[in-house]
Chains A and B, each alone.
Chain A
Amino acid sequence: MTSAEQFSEFAPFQRLTPTQREAVAQLARPVDFTAGSRLFEEGQDAVGCWLIQVGQVALSTEVPGRGQVVVQTLGPGEVLGWSWLVPPHQWQFTATAPGPVSAMELDTARLLALAEHEPAMGYPLALGFCEILLTRLQSARARLLDLYANPRER
């Protein structure tokens, strides 16, 4: 499988034409992370976006008295890292690989430049990213409902 084809499995790139996907594939490189490694850290400049192919990535934040608390995990087929897209371009959470992870890493500076230069590509790309953000927002809202709580404790 070429990496352009691999891109079609990830929501942000599904609206792109094969030629546009090919252009994005030029900005990607395969990366592997060993168990325990950090992909990025809260507060650092946000550069890069990862398309997870194998393994799981945990997003966490430091809570006094509780240590690093994992708020969400992402798995194969999911996209990690949005903060490069909007100011102040800083990571809001820390991303760790609890086990081995394989991913495609995107050069986000060049991706942004490409999207801005070519709106015919930028628009479907932005829509694709929007779609995933909406899915995540809705899942987070569902968790806020605390649906499995015992009715006695509500």
Chain B
Amino acid sequence: MLPIPYRVIGRHVETRDSVTLDLEPVREQLPPFRPGQFTMLYARGVGEIAISISGDASRADGILTQTIRDVGAVSHALHALTPGEVLGARGPFGTGWRFDSAYGREVVIVAGGVGLAPLRPVLIEAINGRADHPRTVLIAGARTPSEFLFREQLDSWASIPGLEVVLTIDQPAQDWAGPVGFVTEPLSRLQLRPGSTTAFLCGPEPMMRFSAAVLIGRGMAEKDIRISVERNMKCGVGLCGHCQLGPLLVCRDGPVVDYALARPLLAVREL
């Protein structure tokens, strides 16, 4: 499968190292996405990496919204693209969050750092379908106040009835009047109805493990916790074995997996 050209039509600076790009198909477009799926984005002459969809998955105009953090060669090249420039995209790949299976249940979303990007489509869906869920809670953690992605949107979401937004920071900051602490702290004091709640976690792996441990300690079943795991990708279509995690190929069987399946695999040290 060859990358399809997409043109950058919007570039929004989120934080000092992250941008959100709006990408318009130059000719043909990729099939529609589900929240939690990803593309392989190709920066010409540099390489290709997995990047999640971070925008509204229900939009029909073919525009892809993706958020990129500059951490290395390829992400740096993608991060540096400006409106008018072209990149290549393949996809959609991977499982999604299967948010529809949480119909009628309470929803707890825990996001850390750039882990908020793949969860934004879930939040958009949760907000649009609020009537389907008795309660939606978002707990988002960042290192400092200026490192939250989608900050303006987070602030506006906080005023939506039925949506509880808790933003917490790891490192003390002068310009911050909100909570200071790791995401597990607001999580452990949340009024929780374990049997009728589904949790969606995304962030650094230890953050997801610690958060899942809190939820399990509070009576939630592993099968009601979903996490998005990251492994380096190459083909994206289950052929090269690059993204193997135990018996799973993360590009095909993930990135979103039930914690019941993921927990024993995450405990295994990387080779």
Contacts and interface: CB of A to CB of B under 8 A. Distances in A.
Contact of B180 (A71, A77, A142, A147): A71
Contacts of A70: 172, 176, 180
A86 B137 CA distance: 37
Interface string B135-176: 000000111000100000000000000000000001110101
Interface string B108-149: 000011100000000000000000000000000111000100
Given A76-B189, A148-B141, A142 B206 contact: yes
Contact of B185 (A76, A139, A146, A152): A139
A71 B207 CA distance: 19
A90 interface: no
A71 B172 contact: yes
Contacts of B184: 135, 138-139, 142
Contacts of B206: 142, 145, 147
B179 interface: yes
Q: Secondary structure of the B side of the interface?
A: loop
Nearest to B17: A150
Interface in A70-116: 70-73, 75-78, 98
Contacts of A66: 174
Interface residues of A, number: 29
A149 B112 CA distance: 11
B62 interface: no
Contacts of B177: 98
Contacts of A98: 177
A147 B179 contact: no
Nearest to B207: A147
B204 interface: yes
A69 B172 contact: yes
A143 B182 contact: yes
B112 to A, nearest CB: 6
Most buried by A among B17, B180, B184: B180
A140 B210 CA distance: 12
B181 interface: yes
Interface in A45-84: 56, 58, 66-67, 69-73, 75-78
Contacts of B71: 150-152
A75 B186 contact: yes
Given A138-B210, A142-B210, A152-B71, A147 B181 contact: no
A142 B188 contact: no
Nearest to A132: B188
A147 B210 CA distance: 12
B203 interface: yes
A145 B69 CA distance: 19
Given A67-B174, A149-B143, 20 more contacts: A56-B179, A66-B174, A70-B172, A70-B180, A98-B177, A135-B188, A139-B182, A139-B184, A139-B185, A140-B182, A142-B184, A143-B170, A143-B171, A148-B141, A148-B142, A148-B143, A148-B147, A148-B170, A151-B71, A152-B17
Can you list the 8 inter-chain pairs with the closest CB atoms, starting with the nearest?
A148-B113, A77-B189, A147-B204, A139-B182, A148-B143, A142-B182, A69-B172, A73-B179
